Amino acid sequence: MDLVKIPVEKAFKRNEAQYWENCVKQLSSSEQEKVALEHQAAKIFMRCYEHESGHEIRHLWHNKPRKPDVSCKLDGKRLDLEIAHLYGTELEAKQILGRHLDDKTCAELRELIAHTEPEARLVKALNRILFNKSGKSYRSERVWLVIRNAHPAWDRAQIEALQHKIDVPPTHPFEQIWMVGDWEGKSGIIKLYP
């Protein structure tokens, strides 16, 4: 099912939360979760960006596939945001998202944590996201990549300290690449590119 574009005028003339809820109800439960996570990440990024830059960034709506996940207005001009979440490994993602983990999966997760450094997992996972996103194309004049750190063991300070190991591919479709330093955005945002 196509994602529903939420028109700016309608979203803010009516109760935004109710309108958003009605649009999301049309999606499957996994699509609903994905859209809700993207929406939440975009709102957190927009709040942090506006606070740190002083530039007004408003009006959030979701797009259909082949376009970046969400769109907004930066200083009155359209800006598209592609959203990604940094979890670490797939096992860590399941744990962070509260998925049921069977005994075997729990044992694998304990083994992973015991035998690999968190910093190495952070860099590997982040570089994987950057590589995968760099090969995509979007029907958009202006798109930024926003990566929300979802891993509770990592924060903005660790990401900044490892920035020299972060490998932004030389070619990609993004005007800018940003990270939200933690799940709630309390530590702020980090510019990865340019």
Stated pTM of the model: 0.78
Residue 101's pLDDT is 64
Which pLDDT tens digit goes with each residue over 93-127? 777 777 776 777 677 767 767 777 878 888 988 99
pLDDT confidence tier of residue 182, bands split at 50, 70 and 90: very high
Q: Strand, coil or helix: what is 37?
A: helix
Which pLDDT tens digit goes with each residue over 34-75? 888 899 999 999 999 999 999 999 888 888 777 899 999 999
| CA dist list (Å): 193 to 21, 46, 68, 94, 171 | 34, 17, 18, 29, 12
| CA dist list (Å): 145 to 48, 54, 174, 193 | 15, 20, 6, 9
